[in-house]
Chains A and B, each alone.
Chain A
Amino acid sequence: MTRLPEEEHTNKAFGWAARDTSGVLSPFKFSRRATGEKDVAFKVLYCGICHSDLHMVKNEWASSVYPLVPGHEIVGEVTEVGSKVQKFKVGDRVGVGCMVGSCHSCNDCTNNLENYCPKLILTYGAKYYDGSITYGGYSDTMVADEHFIVRIPDNLPLDAAAPLLCAGITVYSPLRYYGLDRPDLHIGVVGLGGLGHMAVKFAKALGVKVTVISTSSNKKKEALGNLGADSFLLSRDQDQLQAAKGTLDGIIDTVSAQHPLMPLLGLLKTDGKLVLVGAPEKPLELPAFSLLQGRKLVGGSCIGGMKETEEMVAFAAKHNIKPDIEVIPMDYVNTAMERLLKSDVKYRFVIDIGNTLKATS
């Protein structure tokens, strides 16, 4: 007989969970495992709301297990470390991103690509080594293997650091892997949301020239002003698309809605690279001519490994790169989800867990 979430593990925990495909979240009592010898336990102070959380609470990827406690941009302060933990101590500022386990022995794990390990264990909604389902960061405490804990540098405020752990690494990794990180290059960023605005900030810090590509003309002012993009392209405007043909070395496409690839491929120079980090559900049309004429490529990328995540956080700290956030109380989360659906946020909600998540008696 399966145990209740409250009784599964040793330590009581409290959070908010979705119970069904409506995706509506509500208070939820559960439990976390005792801190193992390699584990780090921390009090959660903030958790970012990722668009993936929204997909998952509504079971849009058909993989959700209810009750589901989302949240994989989790930051806080260490409260306990296991006896074999070397890198962290009580009081340290730490975070956990999208993953909490991997096999540690496959080719990908050995190459610091845990995010591509076939036995990857996601931070929430996944089966852990002990068979229990993982619960994410919309909760008061978190415990994770030291390998998957990230140190947050002192000069980064914790609330703003949270979205780095998913949005940040998701765009940083492909900028590096696909070589779109040099000052002589010009890239486009499609979509100006959580991922898009981080892509602009990282690219600018790397010295890359950036054009924001969006369907909404009202984003132009923000893109050029606050975010520092070099130019703005309204993708519904055929004349602007034509004028920008063959001008970009690469494009980071953060849009997860269905959208045509051909106009984007047309913006690329010879050897240009279109990188998709948003995940449309259905296949997109790919005209072969558009790839052959100009030796272009379309590639994907999914978060990043732990080593690269640490590198990204250090880079953000060094260049003072902070996500633009709207801090909300826990009980605003359902409203936030609705606003997120309409992209009504600049540019990431972050739940003030430490101050507003109150356990019901």
Chain B
Amino acid sequence: MSAPMPFWRAAGMTYITYSNICANLVRNCLKEPHKAEALNREKVHFAISTWKDGKAEKPVIRSDLAED
């Protein structure tokens, strides 16, 4: 694609990835109580299950919360 495009798209990045990187960088530059709140707000915990031949395989859990 030779149309004029932002440097991040030329490098293969999508807009959502770019936007999330920008947001993370801004969050990391905040003053203390706000920084901890912001990083805490963005923590995620979810399970991904792939299905094969009509049967669910073991789900993979991705989490930013501390493992207890």
Q: Do A and B bind each other?
A: no
